[in-house]
Amino acid sequence: MAASSSSSPSSSWTYHVYLSYRIEDTHRGFTSHLYNALKQRGIHSFTKGVAVEKGDDISAKSFFQAIEASQIVLVILSRNYASSRYCLNELVKIMECRRRLAQLVMPIFYKVDSSDVRHLQGTYGEAMKRHELRLESGNDKALRWSEALREIANVTGFHLTTDR
């Protein structure tokens, strides 16, 4: 997947932008429009929706490698983001890369309030309670997920209340 030198990321990054989002919530609307706008401007972006459509390797390992290879990560926190264990594992990896690789991570609060994410209220609180009930005692995944959600909610980002 070679890009021209005028539009390729710096030598240390494979992608300019990685888009993290809940496919069911935003892929056919907001995220696909964002991805296409970035592409039109020559910004090389990774989105799991395109990987799935093209038949690329869709294992968690391949997504985690794409996160590490991205200069900027946009996390689109939508109503059902926290209901996905995959999204939460991805967020833990993103926040780790933010600390370790000094990546720029920007949240987009899409039709959710950042305080609901920060305080695990509303659909975020409900989702975390369901995850905690499903996990075996002694499993610290829910704690890591909660910490990652609180951390991303404290990063300055964008608040979008409509699709416009």
Residue with tokens 């995944």: 141
Q: Is 90 a residue of the active site?
A: yes
User: Is residue 36 within 8 Å of residue 42, measured between CB atoms?
Assistant: no
Cα angle 147, 123, 94 (rounded to 5 degrees) comes to 35
User: Is residue 154 within 8 Å of residue 98, measured between CB atoms?
Assistant: no
Among the options 53, 90, 132, 136, which is catalytic?
90
Taking residue 17's Cβ as centre, other Cβ atoms within 10 Å add up to 21
Q: How many helices (H) and strands (E) does the chain have?
A: 8, 5
CB proximity list for 101: less than 8 A, separation 6 or greater: 68
Which residues have a catalytic role annotated? Answer: 90
